[in-house]
A = this chain, B = another copy of it.
Amino acid sequence: MQLYDLNLSGNCYKVRLFLSLIGQQAELTTVNLHAGEHQQADFLAINPRGQVPALVDGELHLGDSQAILVYLARRYANDAWYPQDAVQQGRIAGWLSFAANEVQHGPGSARLGKLFGVPIDQLAVQKKATATLQLLDTQLGNHTWLAQGSQPSIADIAVYPYVALAGDGGIDLAPYAQLNAWFARIRALPGYIDMPGL
């Protein structure tokens, strides 16, 4: 397997973290976004969305961090990471959407603006980020893991990075007790690895 990667991307970290948790390895290739490598024809042939991460596994070319988690879980991991029953798959799909929508456009965007200087309406984004963190804190007050199973699933891995990196976007995580307890549970998983900023 080859993972097209960027060290500081939370979406790439999501995949590196999951690979480590399930004991799988991928060869990493750094994509230089500053040099525009993600918009060059050879990368767009791998991922037409022009984003990292992207995974190549045999004939398969797959972009999107959520999609890569689903693929890796289904192909290489214990079923507990992505159980096969309809209720669990539905719940997990809801958190994958939440990661692509509220988390990406809340704490993810706040970090893009603050850390990388991307022009962003910080007031609107901070409001979205706060609502996102509050919702998660409430959910995690009632459940050990996001998708309500007795074990972590790819839902937790999809949501964790940009939430845990919210400090990079100028957001104080200290008030969210349940979130911090969940961070600690994730960090205690066998095979857990970190990234810069965590």
Instruction: Say whether B90 contacts A71, CB under 8 Å.
Output: yes
Question: Please, which residue of chain B has its CB at the minimum distance from the CB of A64?
Answer: B94
Identify the closest chain B residue to A74 (Cβ): B86
- List which A44-91 residues lie within 8 A (CB) of chain B: 48-49, 60, 62-71, 74-75, 84-87, 89-91
Inter-chain contact B139/A98, CB cutoff 8 Å: no
Copies, count: 2
A131 to B98, CA, bound (A): 22
Whether the Cβ atoms of A60 and B97 lie closer than 8 Å is: no
A100 at the interface (CB under 8 A from B): yes
With A86-B75, A104-B101 already in contact, the answer to whether A67 and B93 are too (CB < 8 A) is yes
How many residues of chain A have a CB within 8 Å of chain B? 37
A53: min CB distance to chain B, Å: 11
A49 contacts which chain B residues (CB < 8 A)?
Answer: 98, 102, 135
A176 to B15 alpha-carbon distance, docked (Å): 34
**Chain B: which residue is nearest A48 at the CB level?**
B135
Using a CB–CB cutoff of 8 Å, the interface residues on chain A facing chain B are: 48-49, 60, 62-71, 74-75, 84-87, 89-94, 96-98, 100-102, 104-105, 121, 135, 138-139
